[in-house]
Structure 1
Amino acid sequence: MTRIVVGDIGGTHARFALATLDGEGRPALGPMKRYRTREYPGLEAAWARFAAEAGEPLPRDAALAVAAPIEGEVLRFMNSDWRIPRFEIAGALGLERLTLLNDFGAVAHAVSALGEGELETILGPAALPESGAISVMGPGTGLGVAILARRGADVTVIETEGAHIGFAPLDPEEEELADTLAARYGRASIERIVSGPGLIDIYAHLGGAGDYQASRAGDLWSAAIDGSDAIAAHALDILVRCFGAAAGDLALAHGAMGVAITGGLANRIAHLLRTPMFESRFTAKGRYRERMQRTAVMLSTYPEPGLLGAAIAFQREHFD
């Protein structure tokens, strides 16, 4: 048995847990601790807090899933001021072995190990394909996108920045939204719409009266989901339609016959993902409509896929 620290370091929260690995089966996770990134100057400070609350000395091995491309000397978050010195962080944290991977790369590792009852059907067949490519995606502080490729027992995870491809509006309302976002940010990407903060931008574009900042995105999501704010509800409808279109486009680009959608926000709007708003946009791919109708779209209900996936990635790197 091997014990390691696992972390899922996002733009809003840093999550940590201890994991037990036996080198063969699915790792077992201990209780999760979650810290708001804006309350800490960087990873080392949040790590120190976890170490103080762990109740035991931390293992000297770790796997950290980071919401940033794993490249260059410094890992730079798109939705946080945190920076991680890639080749120095293991020493700074007192680690002997460290696996660093993209956060949605970790989620894809987790999806590869999910069992019955941890995936629910949204569209199409009732199971992800056993072989071939699966697109893994989910909205949060940003939009994560990765590819899971399976060939028998062999599993390959490809980390991507697919969320940052250009947004393709499909009606006049979306064209106006794209113009607004481009004027504000310089360009309109999928992530600017299909994400937690994206709902705020859509709401503001529609003339919503509420003063919602990024720190209060959860309040706007609640108002949109329960319908207490009609403009927020309309903004969420637009987000869901755009998510459906983007999910279908990404699946085609990846050559995937399966899509796994993950994350807390996606689970909060599962009822909307099962409506024609999402399905019609996902399948509206012209000559490829029939293919999209045969593509399995599943929702992961596992609560902490980033932590589980980080543990699985460490196990595959060091024990397989």
Structure 2
Amino acid sequence: MRIVAGDIGGTHARFALAGLAPGRPPRLGEMRKYRTRDSAGLAETWARFAQDCGGSLPDAASLAVAAPIEGDTLTFMNSPWRLDRFGLKAELGLDKLLLLNDFGAVAHTISMTPGEEFTAICGPGDLPEQGIASVIGPGTGLGVSLLDRRSGVSVIETEAAHIGFCPLDPEEEELADFLIARYGRASVERVVSGPGLIDIYQFLGGGGAPDPNQAGLLWDAAIAGSDPLAGRALSILVRAFGAAAGDIALAHGAMGVALTGGLANRIAHLLKSPPFEARFTAKGRYRERMQRTPVRLLTFAEPGLLGAAVAFQREFGA
């Protein structure tokens, strides 16, 4: 059968047609990407996708969304979009619809991805085949989920990105104060995310008004080294990422961490550097455990889309 697989984040909505067959992994067609700020909501973007596909779509869909799957209305933390959880199937003209958190979808992809699709960041060995792995990735926000393979495959969607940011040196203490003054609270996501780089840059004295839409330009400059202050901001973000990834792994009881997403892949060389690993393993009496915990970076380009299709297959036996 064919379904629509969707990955709807704070900045982009991605869609692809997926072919499902029992006992075989989903096959994704061409991915189409739309900026969320260019549409009033999902229905309008859905109609654009249908038009781009020739005017008609399958009557089944699996949508991974950057929002907690709870209540009557799904509320995005990094987008003005809102989804009517129980009315969406009728609104889109579907017979079957699965809604799941976007990083729940990514964890479904991790569960079936071979080792060659990962690159080593730190720690020995591969992700545990029978244990728990934390799945973490920065983007417009910070996605976090838990993959439990102790008995079959179980995915737990979390909002761990919104735990408090824990400063580990005087500079980070000042950064936390800066974020609290701006937002009322300093969470990990305020630091370890695409827009987080803007806040760190401005904390260091970089000019400009807060504008998440300009995050891409700042990331380009930081990675290229064309703006030394942006590079310094990125080094703070990488250290904070390492510390947060280690804390999340401990909270999950994980013996493996999968990092994902376009931003993480763009800074893979920095994630492999000593500052990330030093912060990841600096957990006091649990340092030796963290040194044994493999951190791997998923290189597959569209894990949210594939994971949405995998989750539908598992849910409906397609």
Query: Which consecutive residues of structure 1, in runs of 5 or more, have no partner in the other structure?
Result: none
Does the aligned pair in 1 maintain the 2:63–2:98 contact within 8 Å?
A: yes
Quote the offset at 1:126 in angstroms.
Answer: 3.2
Question: Taking structure 1 as reference, are residues 257 and 160 closer, same or farther at Cα in structure 2, changes over 3 Å only?
Answer: same
Alignment of 1:78-97 (within 5 A): 78-97=77-96
Does the aligned pair in 1 maintain the 2:104–2:157 contact within 8 Å?
A: yes
Size of the alignment, in residue pairs?
Answer: 318
Aligned: 1:168 with 2:166 = yes
- What does residue 265 of structure 2 align with? 267
Structure 1: how far apart are the matches of 2:30 and 2:63? 16
Does the aligned pair in 2 maintain the 1:212–1:220 contact within 8 Å?
A: no
Aligned: 1:35 with 2:34 = yes
Letter paired with 1:281: R
Q: Secondary structure at the match of 1:114?
A: coil
Quote the offset at 1:210 in angstroms.
Answer: 5.2
Quote the offset at 1:107 in angstroms.
Answer: 0.4
Letter paired with 2:229: I
- What does residue 301 of structure 1 align with? 299
RMSD: 1.0
Q: Secondary structure at the match of 2:107?
A: helix
Residues 145-201 of structure 1: CA deviation (Å, up to 9, x unaligned): 00000025x100000000000000000000000000001111100000000000000
Structure 2: how far apart are the matches of 1:89 and 1:24? 29
Residues 28-50 of structure 1: CA deviation (Å, up to 9, x unaligned): 10000000000000000000000
Does the aligned pair in 1 maintain the 2:115–2:126 contact within 8 Å?
A: no
TM-score, L = length of structure 1: 0.98
The 10-residue stretch of structure 1 (41-50 or 52-61) with the greater mean CA deviation from structure 2: 52-61
Aligned: 1:13 with 2:12 = yes
Quote the offset at 1:3 in angstroms.
Answer: 0.3
Letter paired with 2:265: N
- What does residue 219 of structure 2 align with? 221
The 10-residue stretch of structure 1 (121-130 or 193-202) with the greater mean CA deviation from structure 2: 121-130
Letter paired with 1:198: G
TM-score, L = length of structure 2: 0.98
Q: Secondary structure at the match of 1:27?
A: strand
- What does residue 48 of structure 2 align with? 49
Does the aligned pair in 1 maintain the 2:265–2:299 contact within 8 Å?
A: yes
Q: Secondary structure at the match of 2:166?
A: coil
- The 4+ residue runs of structure 1 with deviation greater than 3 A are 209-212
Q: Secondary structure at the match of 1:256?
A: coil
Structure 2: how far apart are the matches of 1:116 and 1:183? 43
